[in-house]
Amino acid sequence: MERLLKEFIYFLSVERGLASNTLESYQRDLRKFFLFLRKKGISKVESITRAVIIDFLAEQRERGLASSTLTRNLAAIRSFYQFLLREQITTVNPAMELETPKAEKKLPVVLSLSEIELLLDQPDPGNTAGLRDSAMLELLYATGMRVSELVSLDVSSVNMKMGFVKCHGKGNKERIIPMGSVAIRSVQEYLRNSRLKMLKAREEKALFVNQQGTRLTRQGFWKILKKYAHKAGIQTDITPHTLRHSFATHLLENGADLRSVQEMLGHADIATTQIYTHVARRKIKDVYNQTHPRA
C-alpha cells in the first residue's frame, strides 16, 4: 500500500499539479488510514470494504476529531480509490457511496457593543493612517461588508450625499447598503485629510490605499484589525468577518427584520442569515440568567 500511496501522490503532483501542502495532507490522512488497516490485519486493497471505512471514521470521531477533519479523511480515501480505478488496480470504490460527515453548526463569534466601541476608538485621528483605519473600521461595521468587498471599493463606490455604498459580492452581484452618519463622517474625513497624502501623487481609483499609495489588500487590513484588537485588549480572537457577524447580530437585537439584514449582507438564501437569530436569542437568554433573581 505504501507503494500505491507513492504512485498516487506522484499522480496528484504531476498529472493534477496539486500544491505541496495539499499533497502532504493527502499523505498524512492516508497513512493514518493505512495504520488503522494494519491494526485490523488488512494488507490488501481488495479487502477494504465499506464497513471497514465506516469503522475507521467512527474511531476517528471517538478520538474527538472534528467533522471537517473526518470529511477530509473520507475525501482522501475516495480520491485514492479513484486513482486505483483509473489504474485498473481495483474495480470497486467502497468509499464512493458513503455519506459525508455532517459538520457541526457553530454560532459565529460576535463582539459586544462595548467591545465594538472600544475597537473603533483605537485608530489615532492625528495621523493619515489612523484616519484611514478609522474610516475602514467604521464602514465595515456600518455595512456588514466582507473584507474582500471593502478593499475592492473605489472612490466612486461611495455616495456621501445619499449615504450609501455600492459593493460587489459573491458572483459579482451588486448591492447597495446604507452607510450611517458616523461612517459617512469618518470616510469624508479620510478623503479630505488622508487619502491624497497617502497617494503621493499617484493615480489610483481605490478608496482605501496603503502607505505606497496602492490598493490595500485583505492581508493588509487583517494586520490592521489584529493590531487594534490587541491594543483594545479584546481577548476574543477576531477576524474581519467578526465585524460582519456583529453588524448582523446587533441589527437583529435592535429589531431589524431578517429580510432586510439578508439583503444588506448579500445572502442568497435567508437560511444563511437565520444563524444570527440564534446568536441574538442566546444573548437574551444570557441576560435573563444573569439578571433575573430566580434564573
Catalytic residue check, 190: no
- 103 has a pLDDT exceeding 60: no
Query: Are 181 and 49 found together in one domain?
Result: no
State the catalytic residue, choosing from 31, 175, 185, 241: 241
State the catalytic residue, choosing from 26, 81, 228, 276: 276
**pLDDT band at residue 282 using 50, 70 and 90 as cut-offs:** low
Mean pLDDT (the chain) is: 88
Catalytic residue check, 170: yes
108's torsion region: left (phi>0), alpha (psi -120 to 50) or beta? beta
Q: What pLDDT is recorded for position 228?
A: 97
Q: How many residues does the chain have?
A: 295
State the catalytic residue, choosing from 132, 146, 195, 245: 146
Contact between 280 and 253 (Cβ < 8 Å) = yes
Q: What pLDDT is recorded for position 77?
A: 92
Which residue in the block uniquely carries the three cell numbers 473605489? 154
Query: Are 172 and 79 found together in one domain?
Result: no
pLDDT in tens, 178-209: 999 999 999 999 999 999 999 987 889 999 99
Q: What pLDDT is recorded for position 170?
A: 79
With respect to residue 103, please indicate whether it lies within any of the assigned structural domains.
no
State the catalytic residue, choosing from 132, 244, 245, 250: 244
Query: Are 28 and 152 found together in one domain?
Result: no
Q: What pLDDT is recorded for position 146?
A: 93
Catalytic residue check, 106: no
- 217 has a pLDDT exceeding 80: yes
Pick the closest to residue 26 from 82, 94, 81, 72 (CA basis): 72
Q: Which amino acid is at 126?
A: G
Tell me the H-state helices in 89-127: 113-120
The three-point CA angle 229-233-239 to 5° equals: 25
Query: Are 63 and 163 found together in one domain?
Result: no
State the catalytic residue, choosing from 132, 245, 250, 267: 267
Catalytic residue check, 278: no
Q: Which structural domain, as residue segments, surrounds residue 193?
A: 113-291
Query: Are 176 and 271 found together in one domain?
Result: yes
Query: Are 18 and 123 found together in one domain?
Result: no
Percent of the chain with pLDDT strictly greater than 90: 52
Catalytic residue check, 168: no
41 exposure class (CB count in 10 Å sphere: 0-12, 13-18, 19+):
exposed
Report if pTM > 0.85.
no
Q: What pLDDT is recorded for position 58?
A: 87
With respect to residue 181, please indicate whether it lies within any of the assigned structural domains.
yes
State the catalytic residue, choosing from 28, 170, 173, 200: 170
With respect to residue 44, please indicate whether it lies within any of the assigned structural domains.
yes
Query: Are 57 and 141 found together in one domain?
Result: no
Catalytic residue check, 285: no
What mean pLDDT do residues 230-249 have? 92
Number of folded domains that form the chain: 2
Cell of 189: 474625513
